[in-house]
Amino acid sequence: MTRPTPNKAEDRQGGLPAITAFMRGKHLRTKSELFYSTTLGRAFWGDSLDLLPGIPDKSIDLILTSPPFALKRKKEYGNEDEDKYVEWFMEFARHFHRILSPSGSFVLDLGGAYLPGFPVRSIYQFELLVRLVRETGFYLAQEFYHYNPARLPAPAEWVNVRRIRVKDSVNVVWWLSKSQNPKADNRKVLKPYSDSMLSLFKNGYKAKLRPSGHDISDKFSKNNGGAIPANLLELANTDSNSSYQKMCRKAGLKVHPARFPPGFADFFVKFLTSEGDLVFDPFAGSNTTGLVAETLGRNWIASELSEEYLKGSIFRFDPRVLQPATVGRIA
């Protein structure tokens, strides 16, 4: 076992000054263009592989991202062919490991895919996980499942027409870390207690043995301010009329088709970072991660290939946090 690693700025190569310089754009060796900035963050336009070499070692506290998925059905935002997908991702992964602070986390949201033309699934998420752990040196801190009950049944051929598969409503989320003890605190993401738990608190609890033989002692009758969440995150992505979407439509910009539900980014940013930490999304899309980080007082960096998605993402931010140069981007 390695020792728990404290999350001090000194752990990071170059310490706080290097991060501050990076956030100000000094010493930035990158082909990516600074597209806009806010009080706490910077959004870059370009291939993240161009930005990554300029990011200092051990400087990032959380990488939270959802890359283009390995669906064979081509989507507009640049899916790699599944066979090449894992190989393509490994180049990013080596940089991610290098730039992560010793107590940092890398949270990767991945959608599933059927093999084109067959009612059987690709196992790319699992192949990728094995390589991230075995080759890149990440630890699997915990796996999560991101359940979207509002997802439509697909592919129609297997689910609606032949009725031989059920609805696929879950993304896997690999929570990876650089050490065995990444910074994390589940007290920051407690859920409201269920009604039955609240009535237990009110009416008292009789300690007894569970069928499994576990002794459920009095400690479960203590109100700790909320329930510890499960690794199944139920978050419907039903929002079709947010101000981000309205403003994109008004400006003639495409609304990003594969956005995180804000609750997803909110959960991991709160769970795995503290105020002042630095969060990075290398496949930022509409920059849900940046918005959540800004709202929660974390510094952030976003990188996105599509100028159109970046332009639209500016609408997510309160104009008061946008730096002056940004305004020209959406004028």
Ligand X SMILES: C[S@@+](CC[C@H](N)C(=O)[O-])C[C@H]1O[C@@H](n2cnc3c(N)ncnc32)[C@H](O)[C@@H]1O
Touching ligand X, residues 225-254 (CB under 6 A): none
| 32 contacts ligand X (rule: CB under 6 A) | no
| 311 contacts ligand X (rule: CB under 6 A) | no
> What is d(CA 216, CA 77) in angstroms, rounded to the nearest whole number?
50
> Measuring CA to CA, how many Å separate 41 from each of 179, 266, 284?
26, 16, 13
> Measuring CA to CA, how many Å separate 45 from each of 32, 113, 303, 329?
6, 28, 6, 12
Specify whether 67 is catalytic.
Answer: yes
Q: Is 62 left (phi over 0), alpha (psi -120 to 50) or beta?
A: beta
Please identify, among the stretches 127-135, 167-175, 267-275, 279-287, the one whose residues bind ligand X according to the rule CB under 6 A: 279-287
Residue 20: strand, helix, or coil: helix
Amino acid at 40: L
Q: CB count, 10 Å around CB of 178? A: 24
> What is d(CA 126, CA 38) in angstroms, rounded to the nearest whole number?
37
Could you say which of 13, 14, 28, 47 contacts ligand X (CB under 6 A)? 47
Please identify, using beta-carbon distances, which residue of 68 and 102 lies nearer to ligand X. Answer: 68
Sketch the per residue contact string, 69 through 88, with ligand X: x for CB under 6 A, - otherwise. Answer: --------xx----------
Could you say which of 85, 124, 260, 315 contacts ligand X (CB under 6 A)? 260
Please identify, among the stretches 41-49, 97-105, 139-147, 152-160, the one whose residues bind ligand X according to the rule CB under 6 A: 41-49
| 316 contacts ligand X (rule: CB under 6 A) | no
Please identify, using beta-carbon distances, which residue of 259 and 298 lies nearer to ligand X. Answer: 259
Identified catalytic residue from 32, 48, 68, 109? 109
Helices and strands of the chain, counted as H and E runs:
11, 11
> What is d(CA 284, CA 316) in angstroms, rounded to the nearest whole number?
13
Specify whether 261 is catalytic.
Answer: no
- The Cβ-side half-sphere exposure at 167, using a 13 Å CA radius, reads 8
| 37 contacts ligand X (rule: CB under 6 A) | no
Assigned token pair, 79: 């899916």
Cβ 15 to ligand X shortest distance, Å: 28
Number of residues written out for the chain = 331
Cβ 72 to ligand X shortest distance, Å: 16
Cβ 135 to ligand X shortest distance, Å: 20
Please identify, using beta-carbon distances, which residue of 303 and 326 lies nearer to ligand X. Answer: 303
Identified catalytic residue from 59, 66, 105, 313? 66
Give the interface with ligand X as residue ranges (CB under 6 A): 47-49, 66-68, 77-78, 256, 258-260, 283, 285-286, 288, 303-306, 309
Active site positions, annotated: 66-67, 109
